[in-house]
Structure 1
Amino acid sequence: MRMMAHLWRCLAGPRLYRVYHEYDDHESMAYDPNVVERVGNKIIQGLNIMVYVGLYTSPFIASYLYKRDYFSFAGVISIGNIATGLSILLMVGFLIRGFGRSFNPTYNKFLDILHQCEQSYNTKTMSLLRQYDFDFWAWPVDFSWADAEGDESKPRVYVDRSVGRSGLGWVITLPCQLAAWAAVHCFGRHLMYPGSIQLLQAAMDNYLQSGREKLVKEHSGLRNKITARDGNFIDTMFVDRRGSQTHPHGSTLVMCCEGNAGFYEMGIMVTPLDAGYSVLGWNHPGFSGSSGSPFPKQEQNAVDAVMQFAIHKLGFKPENIVVFAWSIGGYPGSWAAMNYLQIRGLILDATFDDVLPLAHPRMPSWMRGLVTTAIRQHLNLNVSDNVARYPGPITIVRRLRDEIICTQDQILRQTHLDFFICKISYVAYKPTQSLYTKRHLAALCSGPKGQSTSLLELGIDEDYYFTLLSTYAAEHSGAFPMMIGEEMTDDEKTKMLLFLASKYLVDMDSFHNNPLDTSLFRMPWTPIQDTSYVQVD
């Protein structure tokens, strides 16, 4: 009976990829399956790829089967026979793999440790389990959003641009809404988040394994499994540098939010790591080890659980956490900032204010209405609305050669102009929204040359406004919103707005996918932290 139970665990157990040395975290070796297990793996992998290809090409397959009359009774019988044969082959693959594993001492040892963790997951068993890299679905849960004391009492802030309809209007738009739902779930989600495509993940599997190995071996990274509010499991990697003599910034945690095809294994974590910070990376729902799908609600639940994990499990105070978001990661990053106002700052790199203007040029013009409905109802990534509700320090990194976000100069200017108008309104008291102000903000957003020219043309003395703002913050409060503009004229408000905008914007002369230069990665500017001013009475 015990032998049968062991054989079953070998048959149903997770794939093992790598074994780290028991006494040296900097040594590891790839798991070496025997010939029998390797054959079973090949059969299962091949059938999985067939399923993924079939799903993504199902409209073409269905059309082909229809033309070949496979939807007749005889055709359905033929399809059923093929499906039965493939199912039997899959079962054979599992049996062969399980039989091979049962004779592999390395896998048997791993399976015993995993079984111990399932029985009692504590510090000792967790330390033993971290010696292995394996399928994440079998990893025990390290933290759940429900573990955070008082979590239910914490109000969440949500922004919804969707337009509600009732009665006749709802009936009239129902066909378009149904078409939008179908488009999003069939292909729209994968176009917006290509990293969620299983075929792409299968092709990148070796690179993802190598990335995890590097984080564990070179940076002593710790992988953790988090349960989000909606039941999704979130795959995270934490590099702890608190108390390190060689990393003076280790007391600050940088939480990274990846792009639409980014994974923490090979994403933006490298920049804050090179800069010497403690770093927490996580994968979007449906990416790598994370379960679910990257819809806005699931993104919100995921980043919320990661923030709770950082605060309650890792022990970082919100004021020592910086959110670093790249590209489409600006949505969960800005949502986290909007809901955790005490964080030290928000860094948005190569992101957008609203995804809809970027989607329209990439789709046929006749689909414009459908695209608008699909995004507003199902994929409404309204980053600027979130930023407008975060009154804390922020840095916006602009890629001057960004071929993804900034397809035209007008989009380049307008994207960052919208950010600034939303953001700076929290700093200067009732800022003027005149065309005069917007024109100069647009000039500042047009490029490095335009920025310096605009400040000089307006007669803005940076040292003066720097000192003015710093003195106000020292005497009153550095918290936003500041009321420094309460007694200013419109002209003085405009100059203060432009000065503040110049502090928020950082230019990088590169394309969209290049890693952020470490020299440009710095904490968001605040007048209280900057010591280069002289306080005036």
Structure 2
Amino acid sequence: MEKPLLVFWQCVIGPKLYQIYPNSLPRDQQLTHLYRKNISEIVSDSILLCLKASFGIFRMIWPLCFWYYYQTDSFTYENGISFVENAICISIIGIYFMLIRFSRYINPTYQSFAKELLNLKTNPTKEVRQTFLSNFDFSISHWKPDYVMNTSIAHEMPTVSSLNIETTYAERILHYPILLLGYIGINMIGRRLLFPGSLQIIRFIRHQYLLNGRMNLIVSYRAKRCLLRTPDGNTIDTVFIDRRPSELGQTLVITCEGNAGFYEIGCMMTAIRNGYSVFGWNRPGFGESSGYPSVLSEINAIDTILNYITEQLHFPIDQIVLYAWSMGGYAACWAAVHYQSIHGLILDAIFDDILPLAQRQMPSFTSKLVEKAIRYHFNLDNVHLLKSYNGPFILIRRTYDEVMNLTPNRFETNRVNTLLLHILPYRYPHIYKFNDESMLLLREYLSANEEQRATLFNTYCSDNLQIEIDNYRSEHSIVFYPCSFGLYCNSLRYY
């Protein structure tokens, strides 16, 4: 009698079941592996989703509601009682529709899933847990993390001096009011504009694509899924494809997706097709990862991932490559700075600083407000980080990227150019000097087309340059920046 009751209760409170992985990818369009809900479960899930969306909207607009009630003198005892009554009614409705999920018990597919989940709880070994994740795709919000990072080493937000932002006395007087407006703006709309992938509507639209991508990784490439707990309490959904028996598989590529990207349908496939071991993850608030995106949650997530990889997967740091796309560049750059011995860094379509891109999307009169909000809450400054990184990195410029180009179809305004114009003078101060002819040539080179670049290269780069570079490398196996290369190269015609 006890077993059926446990199964029944597990069906009521259990996680959402998305699909049961097939042994191989289906070749036809029949999605028989997907979990089919009955009418009762569809209704209850829809109501609960609406309640969740309503709560999310309320979290966005509560400052406006507070201001409205304050202005209309509506903070009365009667209105308070009415608010509590409405909140209780909504809670009862939510509990009622959650209990309606008992209809899962009469669904043989979910009942089988619930029984397997109960059996797992009696024998929660690492192998059994991984087998379960390889068979079922479900909401892992209540799944016990496979790795928990010590909370005692949680990072703190970098401080920002107001003196670097306020230049006039009036701006210093208005510092805190503008800071408050910036905080409200960031939490109401700013975070969602910067990270649209965290929006419920985006996840709803891409839900089937994420399921198919996850199935492809687990079924076709035998990816292992695991859940990591960060020091700030977020859980990060990750997958790992191990190819260490092969030579290329000895190198692990960690992918960092953009502001609307997910590991299921992101840049993991680039590294997979080239034969490397690959580790993908969804940032907080994306996919099945909990929390919400922020600078601090991003830092804690990538730090937890690197600790898990070195401690549990036993990859040396010098065999790890970080491959970042767009907004994922910040997490990758931060990791490279704090783990200097990584094998390399690949930065695809990233920016130098998020501020110019954010200001371009907003009206000009909000420029100061946007600056303060970004600097204090989303100060994604990749230039500052890369100046502290001593290892090799590759920059990939998407020439006609509509986001990275401040002026459409003009690749001389691409933010990767600005990034390079800051990094090269810092790394090679004896070659590139600000306001020098070499900087003018570099700007011209970055703004030129392919034919013009070839002409500039042949004109200003002598045949002895490569020999000089090779000699410097042989004499300096470990390089720290700024470096002395070019200090005694007066005979070369490259500056």
State the TM-score, normalizing by the size of structure 2.
0.86
The total of aligned residue pairs comes to 481
Would you say 1:123 and 2:110 are equivalent positions? no
Match of 1:349 in 2: 348
CA distance in 2, matches of 1:423, 1:231: 38
Unaligned runs of 5+ in 1: 497-537
Residues 20-40 of structure 1 deviation map (CA, whole Å, 9 limit, x = unaligned)? 24xx36578112334443343
Shift of 1:257: 0.8
Within a 5 Å distance, the mapping from 1:150-189 to structure 2 comes to: 162-163=161-162, 172-189=174-191
Alpha carbons 2:412, 2:447 under 8 Å: kept: no
Residue of structure 2 equivalent to 1:241: 243
Shift of 1:335: 0.7
SS in 2 for 1:17: strand
Bigger mean CA offset, 381-390 vs 40-49: 40-49
Q: CA RMSD in A?
A: 3.5
Once residues 480 and 158 of structure 1 are traced to their aligned partners in structure 2, the CA distance between those partners, rounded to angstroms, is 27
Gaps in structure 2 of 5+ consecutive residues: 27-31
The match for 1:101 is: 104
Decide which moves more: 203-212 or 470-479. 470-479
CA displacement at 1:418 relative to structure 2: 3.5
Shift of 1:250: 1.9
Give the superposition deviation at 1:204.
2.3
Query: Which residue is equivalent to 1:141?
Result: 145
Select which of 47, 68, 75 maps to 1:43: 47
Tell me the equivalent position of 2:261.
262
Q: Is the 8 A contact 2:224 2:240 kept in 1?
A: yes
Cα gap change, 1:65 to 1:484, in 2 (>3 Å): closer
* CA distance in structure 2 between the partners assigned to 1:271 and 1:111 by the alignment: 36
Is 1:302 paired with 2:306? no
- Report the AA paired with residue 137 of structure 1: S
Q: CA deviation at 1:390?
A: 0.9
1:504-528 CA distances to partner (integer Å, 9 max, x unpaired)? xxxxxxxxxxxxxxxxxxxxxxxxx
Alpha-carbon contact 2:432-2:439 (below 8 Å) kept = no
Deviation (angstroms), 1:307: 1.4
- Deviation per CA, 1:163-185, whole angstroms, max 9, x where unpaired? 36999986641111111111111
Aligned to 2:413: 412
- Counterpart secondary structure, 1:30: coil
Residue 112 and residue 353 in structure 1: after superposition, are their counterparts in 2 closer, same or farther (change >3 A)? same
Q: Distance in 2 between matches of 1:157 and 1:431?
A: 35
Q: Which residue pairs with 1:10 in the alignment?
A: 11
Quick check: 418-427 or 316-325, which moved more? 418-427
Sequence identity, in percent?
A: 32
What is the alpha-carbon distance in structure 2 between the residues aligned to residue 33 and residue 158 of structure 1?
44
1:474 matched residue in structure 2: 474
**CA contact under 8 A between 1:159 and 1:385: conserved in structure 2?**
no
Moved more, 160-169 or 383-392: 160-169
Aligned mates of 1:295, 1:205 — CA distance in 2? 23
CA contact (8 A) 1:431 1:485 kept: no
| Alpha-carbon distance in structure 1 between the residues aligned to 2:362 and 2:12 | 46
Q: Quote the offset at 1:208 in angstroms.
A: 1.6
For 1:361, the equivalent position in structure 2 comes to 360
Residues 198/486 of structure 1: CA separation in 2 closer, same or farther (3 Å cut): same
* Deviation for aligned residue 1:326: 0.8
Instruction: From 213, 218, 221, give the equivalent of 1:219.
Output: 221
Q: Quote the offset at 1:90 in angstroms.
A: 2.0
Q: Deviations over 1:384-436 (max 9, x none)?
A: 11111111111111111110011224763664243343246335667533421
Q: Please say if residues 285 and 294 of structure 1, whose CA atoms lie closer than 8 Å, have aligned partners that are also in contact.
A: yes
**Does 79-88 or 207-216 show the bigger shift?**
79-88
CA contact (8 A) 1:53 1:199 kept: no
- Displacement, 1:287? 1.0
| Distance in 2 between residues matched to 1:164 and 1:206, nearest whole Å | 48
Q: Which residue of 2 aligns with 1:484?
A: 485
Q: Report if aligned partners of 1:159, 1:386 keep a CA contact under 8 Å in 2.
A: no
Give CA deviations for 1:477-520 in whole Å, capped at 9, x if unaligned.
1544454334233x84x828xxxxxxxxxxxxxxxxxxxxxxxx
CA offsets 1:127-179 (integer angstroms, 9 cap, x no match): 331111111212221122239xxx96xx9899655436999986641111111
Q: Distance in 2 between matches of 1:157 and 1:433?
A: 34
Range that drifts further, 80-89 or 214-223: 80-89
The alpha-carbon distance between structure 1 residues 177 and 84, as it changes in their structure 2 partners (threshold 3 A), is: same
